[in-house]
Amino acid sequence: MIDFQPAIAVLEESQIPWPCTKLKRDLELALDKNLNGNLERWFEALANLPQVKSEQVALNQDCIQVGLATNLNSAQHGDLKHHLKALHPWRKGPFELFGLKVDSEWRSDWKWQRISPHLSPLKDRLVLDVGCGNGYYALRMAAEGATVFGIDPSMLFVSQFAAITGFMKMRPSAYCLPFGIEQVPANLHAFDTVFSMGVLYHRRNPAEHINALVNTLRPGGELVLETLVIDGGKNDVLIPEGRYAKMRNVWYIPSIEHLFCLLKQAGLKEIRLIDDSITTTEEQRSTEWMTWESLANFLDPTDKSKTIEGHPAPRRASIIAS
């Protein structure tokens, strides 16, 4: 079982108006094995990991590192790899755990390198990371001195975060809760910085998502938004019929100009485009730790500028607004 009490305690100490009764009720639902048949398998993997904690933790580097290879014996090394692989697929990373390299599907460090120089200093900031996955970015932010609450509805990714942080003798100031933005109370106005990376295009109503993000920010707070975009003017949007890059749940891909309009309508100001990049098969790819299909399988084999369905290939923009 995953212990969420430290996160609850910090939320209470931070005086964030997140009612504990609602929080605990939502946690009970997320942990209900009758609602998720995979929970028992994932929790078994967590329970069977080597019960070792290390003071050797490096969060402020591209490959987050916990422990040294010499901290484990050969049997423990075998258990480590076997049970971490039971938490497949590993989407975000990379990590190195007791000398074992977890080479995730995404080179998340590349995105962090593009975004981090443009952020307001994170030291002593209260951060909400929406769609945090296994917490790679949350841990990078914690290394900068932030207190970070990551939320992600996938208990698999929350379990991966629990596995990584469970090896740390000193708990980092990052927490991962098994929620979507829908479970966050409305009008919190509590966070200094809010991240939403790789979420907007999965939302049927993007304006509603942006408004929900804005309502979690304190006055003067900073929103960091990363999403798929297309070329075009302020009226251009791609609403895929069927799949986009083999994904079923891509509903809305705006042009950058259209995205700026949505952000302005939500009351955001000082809107800045900080990165606009084509996603490459070096940044997103299948690995030993994510053996399913990845970007190379999603592109037209005869024209890499298009998805296999004929849409523009993935291009991502990162924007900061206050």
Other CB atoms within a 10 A radius of the CB of residue 1 amount to: 9
Give me the percent of the chain exceeding a pLDDT of 90.
96
pLDDT digits 0-9 by tens, 100-141: 999 999 999 999 999 999 999 999 999 999 999 999 999 999
Q: What is the pTM of this model?
A: 0.97
Name the pLDDT band for 298 (thresholds 50, 70, 90). very high
Does the pLDDT of residue 216 top 80, yes or no?
A: yes
CA atoms within 13 A on the CB side of 4: 22
How far, CA to CA in Å, does 184 sit from each of 26, 123, 178, 212?
Answer: 10, 24, 11, 9
pLDDT, residue 1, reads 74
pLDDT, residue 192, reads 98
pLDDT, residue 14, reads 87
pLDDT, residue 164, reads 98
pLDDT digits 0-9 by tens, 251-283: 999 999 999 999 999 999 999 999 999 999 999
Name the pLDDT band for 232 (thresholds 50, 70, 90). very high
For 40-56, what is the mean pLDDT? 97
Ordered by where they begin, the domains of the chain are: 5-321 (3.40.50.150)
pLDDT, residue 20, reads 85
pLDDT, residue 189, reads 95
Helices (H), the chain: 5-13, 20-30, 39-48, 74-85, 108-115, 136-143, 155-166, 206-214, 256-265, 295-298
pLDDT digits 0-9 by tens, 141-162: 999 999 999 999 999 999 999 9
For 18-39, what is the mean pLDDT? 92
β-bridge mates for residue 307, sequence order: 299
Exposure letters 79-100 (e unless 16+ CB within 10 A, then b)? ebbebbebbebbbbbbbbbbee
For 74-78, what is the mean pLDDT? 97
The mean-pLDDT minimum among 35-39, 91-95, 304-308 falls in 35-39
Does the pLDDT of residue 15 top 90, yes or no?
A: no
Q: How far apart are CA 59 and CA 221, in angstroms?
A: 24
pLDDT, residue 134, reads 98
Name the pLDDT band for 84 (thresholds 50, 70, 90). very high
Does the pLDDT of residue 243 top 80, yes or no?
A: yes
Are 236 and 214 in contact by the 8 Å Cβ rule? The answer is no
